[in-house]
Amino acid sequence: MTIDAFIDALPKVELHVHLVGSASVPTVLELSRRHPGSEVPSTEEELRRFYTFTDFPHFARVYGAVNALVREPEDVATLVLGLARDLAAQGARYAELQVTPYAHHVVGMPKREVTEALDLAARRSLDEHGVEMAYIFDIPGEFGEEAARVTVEHALQEPPAALVGFGIGGIEQERPKYRDAFRSAFAAARAAGLHSVPHGGEMSGPDTIWETIEGYGAERIGHGINCLADPRLVAHLRETQLPLDVCPTSNLRTGQVARIEEHPLPRLLEEGLYVTLNSDDPPMFATTLAGEYRVAADVFGLGKAELARLAANGVRASYLPEQRKRALLKEIDDLVAAQA
């Protein structure tokens, strides 16, 4: 079996992907035509140019423009089902989808309607595409205390049935000014039984990662690539095996690394850190989940056994029930054994 065929056959999970960022080009064009008058282009050629980012703040502005097209519960369900369809074609069985309730709040969507759309889409994703969908509610950090309040209220008062986690994304440099509000929101979410899965160390340094650990009780960290600047942090991550959800192409497209060959994924693995492989905002970054495995193989030279280990890491780090984890891990082991 060729490496490409192996990647296609490898059972995968996606642990770091955003609802709006998962929208395929045809889906975004459909939303743009459904809601005319936005700054999002309505032709494919213009949209692909729109997705050329100069830095992370520019990406955040473009993301916000696309996010503004999601105005009705039907739009939310359209995005979830589109992701399920795309993941099924790549051999993915399960995803933990990051949803930003604040974005739906500011366009006037009631919490209950958003939750009903997410519940319906999760059922249809499994029935129609064989992809089990779970949700993580995340705070857009640059919007501060109000965003924290809205996000945690939605998570506690009107949660979708498949809500498993609570996170925070956005521009990391804005977080210190809202430190207490964010810590309080995570404390409330964790007390309600939600897992803590914040972004950290994507566009800022080790201090942000330490804050996710000490202030938010992180159980997994989105990105975390800048941990390497702090040997004490690296040692802590190695000792605790706290998973890092790494998204190489995302880091390239938003300017966090200058060249894909300079991405720290190989060093993270050499340091013995717990890494999962993910796509983040795949159509915006011209990638896919399977494409990230191909980058790991083609650019970093990972072989079948190492790719299978990354896939297994994702399964173990997920919030799937243990029985489902065991079944997926057996599928991965059987595929590797067939290559011997």
Mean per-residue pLDDT, 283-305:
96
Provide CB contacts within 8 A for 290, sequence distance 6+: 7, 8, 12, 90, 91
Task: For the chain, give the percent of residues with pLDDT over 90.
Answer: 82
Task: For the chain, give the percent of residues with pLDDT over 70.
Answer: 100
Q: Give me the residue spans of the domains in the chain.
A: 3-338
Mean per-residue pLDDT, 142-150:
97
Give residue 336's pLDDT. Answer: 96
Give residue 41's pLDDT. Answer: 86
Structure tokens at 185: 């929101």
Better-predicted residue by pLDDT, 64 or 227: 227
What pLDDT band is residue 129 in, cutting at 50, 70 and 90? very high
Summarize pLDDT for 46-85 with one digit per residue, the tens.
888 888 888 888 888 888 888 888 889 999 999 999 999 9
Helices 304-317 and 322-338, packing angle to 10 deg: 180
Its sign, for the CA torsion 333, 130, 84, 212, is negative
- What single letter denotes the amino acid at residue 317? A
Give residue 238's pLDDT. Answer: 98
Mean per-residue pLDDT, 108-118:
96
Give residue 65's pLDDT. Answer: 87
- What single letter denotes the amino acid at residue 39? E
Measured CA to CA, the distance from residue 276 to residue 268 in angstroms comes to 11
Structure tokens at 28: 């975004």
Which residues are designated catalytic?
Answer: 202
Closest CA relative to residue 335, chosen from 97, 26, 8, 107: 8
Assess whether pLDDT exceeds 80 at residue 111: yes
Alpha-helix runs per DSSP H in the chain? 3-9, 25-34, 44-50, 56-67, 73-88, 101-106, 111-129, 144-157, 179-191, 206-214, 231-240, 248-253, 265-270, 289-298, 304-317, 322-338
Structure tokens at 294: 């191909």
Give residue 231's pLDDT. Answer: 98
Summarize pLDDT for 180-219 with one digit per residue, the tens.
999 999 999 999 999 999 999 999 999 999 999 999 999 9
- What single letter denotes the amino acid at residue 112? R
Structure tokens at 302: 């990972």
Assess whether pLDDT exceeds 80 at residue 33: yes
- What single letter denotes the amino acid at residue 308? A
CATH code at 3-338? 3.20.20.140
> What phi and psi values does residue 69 have, to the nearest 5 degrees?
-80, -15
Give residue 10's pLDDT. Answer: 97
Give residue 58's pLDDT. Answer: 86
Assess whether pLDDT exceeds 80 at residue 12: yes
Measured CA to CA, the distance from residue 187 to residue 176 in angstroms comes to 17
Summarize pLDDT for 229-288 with one digit per residue, the tens.
999 999 999 999 999 999 999 999 999 999 999 999 999 999 999 999 999 999 889 899
Give residue 199's pLDDT. Answer: 98
Give residue 26's pLDDT. Answer: 84
Measured CA to CA, the distance from residue 174 to residue 142 in angstroms comes to 5
Structure tokens at 290: 């399977």
Give residue 31's pLDDT. Answer: 87
Give residue 269's pLDDT. Answer: 98
Summarize pLDDT for 151-179 with one digit per residue, the tens.
999 999 999 999 999 999 999 999 999 99
Provide the mean pLDDT of the chain: 95
